[in-house]
Chains A and B, each alone.
Chain A
């Protein structure tokens, strides 16, 4: 485990969400494995220059999703997580979000070819 996450402190996206999203990517892509220790909330807050509660909220969010195990007086650890069965509504919701994201990319001037390449790369990563 030697990966890093990056946070944009000037982004309109709240820092809590950025931390949770970045850690989730590490978890889903397997760079963080069950049993791995995460930096303590205090350490992460100092390194990122954020308030303790901002990082704690992100950790709690991941704990609620079952990704990490939070126990008082101990560093957060990556938990064994069984993927829940996604409902049809959830899949439809994600499809809608993906379409919205692709539309946003096109609106920002990214070519259709480029978007397709990016999605293909992502799809290969998901299947590997």
Chain B
């Protein structure tokens, strides 16, 4: 089951990447955004997103239920390749379709502020989460023999690193470190790689750091009680960690919304907007949070999270 679980994580991550790739391509590519403003573009996008989600759901169930010998050598690669090929075909179609459309020409002005700006303190905080998780792994390894597992191995391992339970737990934490590093790099890229005229730059840097911290707090709070029989104090620490991690997300979500409301950016520069009558999920205006249909797409990550959890239990 554990091997399938790891393949399931990989599979669902790749599915999510396909959806994100579509988002990123549209965000950066003005021509694709024009296609997406057309009914056929929106329809194609919905079909693609629906197909990816269906493959994520059905493929996830297949991986969770199939024995290893069925997954390899052909089933898993096929499941992974299908949405990638579909995404590639969709992008090609968008490029071709755009040739028949005229891009609207807006005057392009650029502004350079000659004033300097200090590096925000929050950037330094982005370096801490991976160290905290590494410290937690070190403490777990040192104390492993004295911890009570929910599902102990029949034959005790000589070192924690040979214990399947420890390796499973640590794989989650390492997965978290990967996200920590990702958010750390994202915060650096947002600060140094995005124009200072972009109104949400600072709030997005802070949000990336907050996400890194919240993930560092939420992941152990989620996996430690699953793996270990914790004392009431341990459970309390996990609950507090979970509450603080969630609180960070809420706080920075609210701050981003405040920045959005206070911003004097033109509507075309928004990353998010609320328009119930606009059928596009991602387009020239940004991400539309106002259309209920779009929430099917936005809640897709919940499917990706739910399937591995289901497999674990």
Footprint of B on A, CB under 8 Å?
1-10, 19, 26, 32, 37-39, 42-44, 46-50
Contact = CB atoms under 8 A, between A and B. Distances in A.
B118 interface: no
A47 B109 contact: no
B188 to A, nearest CB: 13
A47 B114 contact: no
B112 A4 contact: yes
A74 B114 CA distance: 16
Interface in B95-138: 107-116
A42 B192 CA distance: 9
A10 B113 contact: no
B110 A9 contact: yes
A115 to B, nearest CB: 26
B141 interface: no
Contact of B112 (A2, A7, A9, A32): A7
B234 to A, nearest CB: 46
B197 interface: yes
A95 B181 CA distance: 60
5 contacts: A10-B108, A26-B114, A37-B116, A46-B194, A47-B111
B110 A2 contact: no
Main secondary structure of the interface of B (DSSP, over half): loop
**Shortest 6 CB-CB contacts between residues of A and residues of B:** A9-B108, A48-B110, A7-B110, A2-B115, A47-B195, A5-B112
Contact of B116 (A19, A39, A47, A48): A39
B96 to A, nearest CB: 27
Contacts of A48: 110-112, 195
B113 to A, nearest CB: 5
A8 B110 CA distance: 6
Contacts of B115: 1-3
B110 A6 contact: yes
A47 B110 contact: yes
Contacts of B195: 46-49
Interface of B: 107-116, 192-197
Contacts of A47: 110-113, 195-197
Given A6-B112, A37-B116, 12 more contacts: A5-B112, A5-B114, A6-B109, A7-B109, A7-B110, A8-B108, A19-B112, A32-B114, A38-B114, A39-B112, A47-B113, A50-B110
Nearest to A9: B108
Contacts of A7: 109-112
Nearest to A37: B116
B114 A4 contact: yes
Nearest to A44: B112
Nearest to B195: A47
A38 B112 CA distance: 10
A1 B117 CA distance: 12
A5 B115 CA distance: 11
Contacts of A43: 192, 196
A5 B112 CA distance: 5
Contacts of B108: 8-10
A46 B193 contact: yes
A6 B111 contact: yes
Given A46-B194, A47-B196, A49-B195, A39 B114 contact: yes
Nearest to B114: A3
A1 B116 CA distance: 9
